[in-house]
Amino acid sequence: MSQMTASGAGSAGRSERTLWQRLSHDRNFLGLVFMIPAAAILLMFLAYPLFKGVWLSFTDAKIGRDGVWIGLENYEWLWDDKIFWLSVFNTLVYTIVASIFKFAVGLYLALLLNEKLPFKALIRSIVLIPFVVPTVLSAIAFWWIYDSQFSIISWSLKNMGLINENINFLGDPNNARASLIFANIWRGVPFIAITLLAGLQTVSPSLYEAATLDGATRWQNFWYITFPLLTPIIAVVMTFSVLFTFTDFQLIWAMTRGGPVNATHLMATLGYQRAIMAGNLGEGSAIATAMVPFLLVAIMVSWFGLQRRKWQQGGRDD
């Protein structure tokens, strides 16, 4: 009897609290609640603008005026625009050259830092400083180093007797490209070096010992042990690097703003100039949208890089 009332009361209590109880133990509901803040921000300010950008590129919107649908007109216009193609060319040169050097120097620096060194922690923190200082502020320092009159590089080379005239770093198209690429490499190397160093530290030294006992040279050690074990991290790091180099804006804007005669315009800076400064939102969006295919390729590479990594470690693919 007493048992029956107890269980009866219990079931009555459960049915009273049932909605709250069910919800607070329901994974899907809880998950939804926890995801709301992040999802709201990302949907409103990332996903929506992404689609809106594509839509804008099919309109003739200007600043202060909603555009009407004009189909592919913006793209047709760009197709015949020499400056646009120049910016595509610049972007590709900038990305490819800077990425190759960043990878080579970054990997080299990582290997150097992986040696037995005194003050290793200190050296590592100094190496990272270019990455910590805001890009625009270090770009301003480079701007001063590249000054046409008071460049310290020109001064040093002149005093060494190697050149007679100041180098026109940012005034000549090819010099300007090279100068910007150098600044980009300078800024990107620490990130690549430190992440690859983290990867190197996970490689077991016993592998090298075994290989050395079998008569492997240093080069063979690197090529047959280090490099294969490092490829997954390299894939991810380089995807990030390529992605951010391809869409770079700040360095160029702080130093040349696309000049001289559009020689250093990247797609991002040209998009800014056309959309925000000239007010042609539609045309600027078309330039920005033209970057998307490249972005997709980079994302695919990164994705498969990650997958392979999990597989290599014997982990499951989540």
Partner 1 sequence: MTEATAKPDMNDASEGMSYLDGGMRKIVYVYLPLALIMVVLIFPFYWMVLTSIKPEDQLIDMDKYNPFFVVGPTMKHITKLLFESNYPQWLWNTMYVSVIATFLSLIASVLAAYALVRIRFRGAEMVGAAIFLAYLVPPSILFIPLATIIQWYGLFDSPISLILVYPTILIPFSTWLLMGYFKTIPYELEECALIDGASRFQILFKIILPLAVPGLISASIFSLTLCWNEFIYALTFLSSSENKTVPVAIVSEFVDGDIYRWGSLMAGALVGSLPLVILYSFFVEHYVSAMTGAVKE
Which part of the chain contacts partner 1 (CB under 8 A), choosing from 73-81, 92-100, 130-138, 173-181?
Answer: 130-138
Number of neighbours of residue 196 by Cβ within 10 angstroms? 25
For the bound state, the minimum distance from the C-beta of residue 250 to partner 1, rounded and expressed in Å, comes to 4
Tokens 């910007």 identify what position? 180
- Site residues for partner 1, 81-120, by CB under 8 A, read 105, 108-109, 112-113, 115-117
Which of 7, 15, 148, 201 forms a contact with partner 1 (CB under 8 A)?
201
Which of 243, 258, 264, 265 forms a contact with partner 1 (CB under 8 A)?
243
Which of 68, 123, 163, 261 forms a contact with partner 1 (CB under 8 A)?
123
- CA–CA dist 31, 80 (Å, integer): 50
Residues 6+ away with beta carbon under 8 Å from 109: 127, 189, 193
Nearer to partner 1, 1 or 51 (CB): 51
For the bound state, the minimum distance from the C-beta of residue 191 to partner 1, rounded and expressed in Å, comes to 7
Residues 6+ away with beta carbon under 8 Å from 142: 179, 183, 186, 255
DSSP result, 46-104: IIHHHHHHHHHTTB--BTTB---B-TTHHHHHHHT-HHHHHHHHHHHHHHHHHHHHHHH
Angle separating helix axes 120-127 and 173-200, nearest 10 degrees: 140
Nearer to partner 1, 3 or 149 (CB): 149
Handedness of CA 170, 175, 180, 186 (dihedral sign): negative
For 291, phi then psi, to 5°, come to -80, -20
For the bound state, the minimum distance from the C-beta of residue 111 to partner 1, rounded and expressed in Å, comes to 9
Which part of the chain contacts partner 1 (CB under 8 A), choosing from 8-16, 77-85, 96-104, 229-237?
Answer: 229-237
For 217, phi then psi, to 5°, come to -80, 170
| 56 Cα distance to chain centroid | 25
- CA–CA dist 43, 66 (Å, integer): 22
Which part of the chain contacts partner 1 (CB under 8 A), choosing from 5-13, 74-82, 93-101, 187-195?
Answer: 187-195
Which of 86, 170, 181, 268 forms a contact with partner 1 (CB under 8 A)?
268
74 belongs to the binding site for partner 1 (CB under 8 A): no
Which part of the chain contacts partner 1 (CB under 8 A), choosing from 77-85, 95-103, 168-176, 193-201?
Answer: 193-201
Nearer to partner 1, 62 or 173 (CB): 62
Which part of the chain contacts partner 1 (CB under 8 A), choosing from 6-14, 75-83, 168-176, 184-192?
Answer: 184-192
For the bound state, the minimum distance from the C-beta of residue 1 to partner 1, rounded and expressed in Å, comes to 29
